[in-house]
């Protein structure tokens, strides 16, 4: 089976094997790479990454406050805010609670790319 991949902002990659309850998150910054396996079944009744990005794409004209998606064990989160003009600002946090480290970064998604990002997230979240 083919590994599914989701790229966000060029600095964050998510990799998932079909039918797996885990996915790997990898952050690539200047001189820093951090990765962690995230437990997050796609069929447990909580919002999936696919649903989150579809919701963001539906609101492309803007929203107030922040929209957030958090993994089941709260070790990975994506928080989006609309700049009111041309892009969505994406704050990403990856945590390893047992080894006491975390990585936070910020990237952007152009408004015209939100539908493509939502479609890529839908492919990533496919159960089979």
Domains in the chain, start-ordered, CATH in brackets? Answer: 4-125 (2.30.31)
Q: What pLDDT sits at residue 54?
A: 92
What pLDDT was estimated at residue 102?
93
Question: Which of 41, 34, 60, 43 has the alpha carbon at shortest distance from 118?
Answer: 60
Could you tell me what percent of the chain has a pLDDT over 90? 31
65-85 per-position pLDDT tens digit: 899 999 989 999 999 999 888
What is the pLDDT at residue 2?
64
pTM of the model: 0.86
| Residue 11: CB atoms within 10 Å | 17
Mean pLDDT of 95-118: 89
Give me the phi and psi of 89, to 5 degrees please.
-90, 130
Contacts of 2 (CB under 8 A, 6+ apart): 18
Residue 55's pLDDT is what?
A: 92
Across all residues in the chain, what is the average pLDDT?
86
pLDDT tens-digit readout, 44-58: 777 888 899 999 999
Answer yes or no: is pLDDT of 128 > 60. Answer: no
């Amino acid at each position: 089976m083919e590994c599914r991949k989701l790229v966000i902002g060029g600095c964050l990659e998510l990799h998932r094997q079909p039918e797996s309850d885990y996915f790997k998150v990898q952050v690539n910054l200047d001189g820093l790479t951090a990765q962690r396996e995230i437990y997050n079944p796609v069929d447990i009744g909580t919002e999936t990454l696919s649903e989150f990005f579809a919701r963001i794409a539906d609101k492309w004209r803007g929203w107030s406050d922040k929209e957030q998606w958090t993994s089941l064990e709260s070790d990975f989160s994506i928080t989006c805010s609309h700049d009111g003009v041309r892009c969505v600002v994406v704050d990403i946090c990856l945590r390893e609670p047992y080894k006491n480290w975390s990585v936070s970064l910020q990237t952007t998604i152009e408004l015209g790319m939100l539908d493509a990002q939502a479609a890529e997230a839908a492919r990533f979240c496919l159960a089979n």
